[in-house]
Amino acid sequence: MSFVPPSKIDMIKGFLYAKGLRFIKLNPNSRAVAATIGKPDYVPVIGAQIHEHALTVAKADPERFFYKDGKYCVAVQLYVSKWYGFEQPMGMAPEAYNYEVEALGGKLLKTKKHMPSIDQSDPLIKNPEDIDKVKTPIKIDQGRIRFVIDSINAYKELTGNPPSAFFCAPFSFICGIHSYVRVIRNIRKNPEFIHKLLTWSIDEVLVPYLQLLKKETGANYAVGADAWAAIPNVNKEILEKFVFPYNEKLKIEAKKKGITAVVAGTADYCIEDPKNFDPELMKWCWYHEGKALFGRPGIFMGMGKTELWPIDVIKEFIKENTSMFWKPPVIASCSASFIRDSSPYEITNYVKRIIDNLGRDGHLSFFLAQIPADAPPINVHSFVNASKIYGKYPIIENLDEIEFKLPEFKSYEEWYREEASKGRAIEYE
């Protein structure tokens, strides 16, 4: 799985390297492939969800970043990601839950300095009859769709990677257009309407929207965000009846239009208190979230307190789902509060522990699912640094033999000036 659609050549290179052909030179995309199916050269930190943090580090203009300039928004994220050394810098229009609803006329609560949110108290579809009043499909001049298109094109231009679209997954979309509380209420009181709303969202809104993005950017790969469908926002029953079938329908309908759609965040296990961790439910979530991302069981550590997840349960899951042809990969992460509030030493030790326990045979990469605005940059650098030092294959027997050192790095401002002077960054001001 990757947030960048791997080219066929990267797929082949990554596959062959993982199968033992070590003379092949990996690039970030083929390394991500190799890390999914076996051993790359080192455990990569693929990327991070970084928009709020990037905004702060780069001292960017929030209004321009969120509302006005899609290219600027992407560039800021890409440069901060490159400064940290992420393999596949993520640069996307950050409001995965807002754009479609806003374009259809939904009300957003906006502030100049912060990311806007959908007004959950005043949704566009309040009652079942409102669905007929919403004009579909989404058009290019509605809401901030041009901003989204500019951001996808900018990503393509600035990275040279194939374009990748982002969208709101069906369940999360209806939580925006009908409000989460109303969705939950109607799941009990009027489930037929929720089924109708989900079907409508796929057929009338999301698939045509993906077609529009494909037409304007060439993106035939799209990643859907589905945080509303995380545990405990929903339970197993809701996932089985109202989420999984519709993600599957979306994938099928998108495929018919030549678009590969994957969904991230569905069934993400976000119970926070370790005393409430339920190993069986965790495994069930990993199975389903992995299937959505990889097509087979795998562990994607999303937005939960993943640094507290029991390693033994993860190992059990991997063992139970390993076959002759597949070993569940792990995309490991840590929570926003951990990366913000821990010391570089604690962060390094966490990365070391994950590599020691889960990375010796490959099938491991990292993706920082959330870096908050005020996370100290030294913490993020420590994370990336630790992954490269402790995760170099073959991994040594006793990782404690490697002495802990604080990472050395230039300030962002200095780094950016140098990049710009070499023509590797756009100067905006």
Partner 1 sequence: MSSLENDLEQLKKAIVEGDPDLAEQLAKKILESKMDPLKAIYESVVPGILKAGELWEQNIYFIPDVIMSAEAFKSAMSILEKSIPISTIENKSIGKYLICTVEGDIHDLGKSIVVTMLKAAGFIVYDLGVDVPIKKFIEKVKEIKPDIVGLGAYMSTTAVTLKDYIQALKNEGLRDKVKVMIGGVRTSQEYANNIGADAWGKDGVDTIKKAKKLMGVEK
Stretch that binds partner 1, among 165-173, 203-211, 333-341, 400-408 (CB under 8 A): 333-341
Closest CA to 369 of 225, 260, 167, 255: 225
Stretch that binds partner 1, among 70-78, 97-105, 225-233, 258-266 (CB under 8 A): 225-233
Asked whether the beta carbons of 376 and 411 are under 8 A apart, the reply is: no
The H or E element spanning position 368 is strand 364-368
Q: Does residue 323 belong to the site contacting partner 1 (CB under 8 A)?
A: no
Q: How does DSSP assign 106-175, residue by residue?
A: --EE--SSS--EE-TTS-S--SGGGGGGS--S--TTSTTHHHHHHHHHHHHHHH-SPP-EEEE-HHHHHH
CA–CA distance, 220 with 259 (Å, rounded to integer): 4
Q: Does residue 405 belong to the site contacting partner 1 (CB under 8 A)?
A: no
Q: Which 272-311 positions form the footprint of partner 1 (CB under 8 A)?
A: 272-273, 276, 278
Stretch that binds partner 1, among 72-80, 195-203, 356-364, 371-379 (CB under 8 A): 371-379
Of the CA atoms within 13 Å of residue 69, those in its CB half-sphere come to 13
Q: Does residue 119 belong to the site contacting partner 1 (CB under 8 A)?
A: yes
What is the three-class DSSP state of 305? coil
Q: Does residue 114 belong to the site contacting partner 1 (CB under 8 A)?
A: yes
Q: Does residue 211 belong to the site contacting partner 1 (CB under 8 A)?
A: no
Q: Does residue 372 belong to the site contacting partner 1 (CB under 8 A)?
A: yes
> Among residues 199 and 343, whose Cβ is nearest to partner 1?
343
Give the total residue count for the chain. 429
Minimal distance, residue 159 CB to partner 1, in Å:
25
Q: Does residue 56 belong to the site contacting partner 1 (CB under 8 A)?
A: yes
Closest CA to 386 of 42, 68, 1, 25: 42
Read off φ and ψ for residue 409, nearest 5 degrees.
-155, 155
Minimal distance, residue 396 CB to partner 1, in Å:
33
Among 238, 293, 330, 386, contact with partner 1 (rule: CB under 8 A): 238
Order of strands, edge to edge, in the sheet holding 45-48? 45-48, 364-368, 330-332, 299-300
Measured at the CA of 92, the angle between CA 90 and CA 95, to 5 degrees, comes to 130
Tell me how far CA of residue 95 lies from CA of 50, 300, 356, in angstroms: 12, 21, 35
Minimal distance, residue 166 CB to partner 1, in Å:
19
> Among residues 33 and 238, whose Cβ is nearest to partner 1?
238
Stretch that binds partner 1, among 40-48, 226-234, 243-251, 358-366 (CB under 8 A): 226-234
Among 55, 213, 285, 299, contact with partner 1 (rule: CB under 8 A): 55
Q: Does residue 380 belong to the site contacting partner 1 (CB under 8 A)?
A: no
Q: Does residue 421 belong to the site contacting partner 1 (CB under 8 A)?
A: no
Minimal distance, residue 117 CB to partner 1, in Å:
5
Minimal distance, residue 72 CB to partner 1, in Å:
17
- Looking at this protein, which amino acid is placed at residue 155? Y
Q: Does residue 117 belong to the site contacting partner 1 (CB under 8 A)?
A: yes
Buried (b) or exposed (e) across 279-314, using 16+ Cβ within 10 A?
eebbbbbbbbbbbbbbebbbbbbbbbbbbebeeebb
CA–CA distance, 213 with 215 (Å, rounded to integer): 5
| H-only helix segments in 160-277 | 170-177, 180-189, 191-200, 207-217, 236-238, 244-256
Among 12, 115, 399, 402, contact with partner 1 (rule: CB under 8 A): 115
> Among residues 39 and 51, whose Cβ is nearest to partner 1?
51
CA–CA distance, 368 with 360 (Å, rounded to integer): 20
Q: Does residue 373 belong to the site contacting partner 1 (CB under 8 A)?
A: yes
Q: Which 166-205 positions form the footprint of partner 1 (CB under 8 A)?
A: 180-181, 184-185, 187-188
Minimal distance, residue 374 CB to partner 1, in Å:
5
Residues that bind partner 1 (CB under 8 A): 52-53, 55-56, 62, 109, 111, 113-117, 119-121, 180-181, 184-185, 187-188, 231-235, 238, 271-273, 276, 278, 336-337, 340-341, 372-375
